[in-house]
Structure formats: structure tokens, C-alpha cells
A = this chain, B = another copy of it.
Amino acid sequence: MKKLRWGILGTGSIANRFANDLKTYDGAVLAAVGSRAPETAAAFGAAHGIGAENCFGSYEALAASPDVDIVYIASPHSHHAEHMTQMLEAGKHVLCEKAFTLNAGEARRVFDLARKKGLFAAEAMWTRFLPANRALSALLAGGALGELTTASAFFGNYFPDEWPLTHRIYNPLLGGGALLDMGVYAVSFLSMLAGDAAPERLSAVGTRFAATGVDDRSVLTMIYPNGLMSVAGCAIKAQMRPDGFVSGSLGKISVPLFWKAETFSVELRGKEAEERRYPLTMGALAYEAASVTEDILAGRTESSVVPQRATLRVMELLDYARGALGCRYAADEGLCLGEGACRP
């Protein structure tokens, strides 16, 4: 099988994690890295076995490299749209860290460009690519729980008080806040359970991090046309219950640590709970790389696991929640946050 040649844009912690996990998948070549500074590119390349000639001290040089098929975008949320645009214009496929963009408007423009260029573009929501969550999704689509009734997923972390307010988690200029960093996991998981349908009604409420104004803790409730009520929660200054849950007319399923699930428990009404295990045999982020490789080699321009409509749905929901909390980024200018959220 042909191997895709991957370039990595960015050298932060998630870039390192992706590079490490990519080595556990034998269908990929880690070909290049691009950074704003030659030194960090060289250091990253040395750590991950990338030849010095492919450690680029600018994103332009990475974009121009003939040795790269697809670029994994690992910059802060605030720069995703710009960097994807740059790579797509240069003819590269892109797989971009979540949150995919700052808002749904940016995501639509990126997907439009990819379509125009005939290139692949997808959100690196690695959670959905894990075997456990793919099995769960298939189970629900097959009607294992009957008609779905409720679902919940919370993801909160107490990020250190010592971190500077300029850190991307706290900094509105870098797309800071809980929704885009933590909430995106919970919302995407719940949207997956709902087949990425459009909710009929939305409600969001929460609080902001006083020091910088980004969203801190919030709850987003989605009510779907079939009656399913899903509740997402997230926080950057609070821990939250870390399990996913979904119930239906025939039973319920719990997913411990849903964002990195390797197991879930199915309890049909009147029966014993049954645990199903899907242990990882590659690094967690390798699953998205493998799936994307399969899609691209088959000539597809979007992910068969996280299609573009799924990413747009999640961004619309996050937009709505930010709007409800009054948390706007500069990139939201001219957008009515939430206006697209309930569009069927």
C-alpha cells in the first residue's frame, strides 16, 4: 500500500504526540516539519528522525516542499484557518487539530477551498477514530438501544493558576476558553451519538474566566427532533465527571473516559451489564492517520469517520454556546453566533 508523506505544522505538545503516535502506524512516512523558527523545527526533526533538509523554519517552506502529501496542522485554534488555507493553496491535503477553526464560518471557507482544489480536509477529532467509539457509533446506528433518549458527556480540567494569562487556554487572541479546547470533545462525542443530526432546540449557560473573559465552565443541552436530549459540559477551571453516557428505549451504555475510550459497558433493560473492550494496538492518534490514509488513497476528499458536515455541526454548536455566554473572538466579527446552529 502506498504511504502518505506527512508534514507537521507546529512543534508543540500535540505535534510531538502526533509524531510519536504516527510511528506506531506502518502506513505513514513522517516526512517534514514546519515551524516559525528554524531552531525549533530542527530540534523537532532531530527528536523524530526527520532529515535536516525537511525541517523548515517557515510554513511557506513546508507548503512548498515536494516531499509532503498531507499536512497535520498543530498550531493554536486561532491560526487553524489561516494555516489550512496556506497548505491547501499549495496543493497539500490537511488534517487539522480540533477545534477545527474558531467558528463555523471559518470552517465553511476552508472546506469550500478544499473542494475547489479537489483536496482532502478533515478535523483531527481523534476520539471518533478510536475503535471503541467507532464500534459504539455503529451499535447505535444499528438500533442496539432502540430509540435514543438521553446522553451526556462532560470534560473539565482545572488548568494551573500559575499559567500566564497569555497561555492559549486563557488567551482570547489564541482562541482560548473551555468550549474550543475541552467542550469540543464532549460536543463532538454527543453529536456522533446523534448521527450529527441538527438539534431542534439548544440551550447553553455558563460562566467566564474573569481575568481574560474566555468561557470557563458551561453546559450545552441539545434536544433532537427524535426526542433525544444530550447534555455537554466543559470547564477550564473545574474538574467534571469524565464518563460518557447514552440511553435509549432498550437500555444504556456508559463510556469511561469517552475521549480516549478503550471500553464501554452495555446494559440492556432487564439484563446484566456487558463490558466490551477495544484495546488500542497503535498510538491513539495513529487511528486518525490510518483512516485518513485509507480515504485519500481511495480518492475521497473528506473523512469517512468525521465528515465535513460533522465538523460543521460541532462548530455551529460551539458557536451557539459561545454566543450564549457572550464570548466572542475577533474572528467572529460580523457573525451572529448561533444563527446557523439549528439549521437542519
Contact = CB atoms under 8 A, between A and B. Distances in A.
Nearest to A267: B239
B158 A149 contact: yes
A227 interface: yes
A207 B233 contact: no
A237 B266 CA distance: 18
B150 A240 contact: yes
A233 B235 contact: no
Interface string A233-270: 10101111101010101011010000000000000010
Contacts of A343: none
The oligomer's copy count stands at 2
Given A207-B227, A217-B149, A245 B241 contact: yes
Interface residues of A, number: 35
B219 A219 contact: yes
Interface of A: 149-150, 152, 154, 156, 158, 201, 203-207, 217-219, 221, 223, 227, 229, 231, 233, 235, 237-241, 243, 245, 247, 249, 251-252, 254, 269
Given A149-B156, A152-B241, A217-B229, 12 more contacts: A149-B217, A149-B235, A150-B156, A150-B240, A152-B154, A203-B205, A203-B219, A219-B229, A238-B247, A239-B247, A240-B247, A241-B243
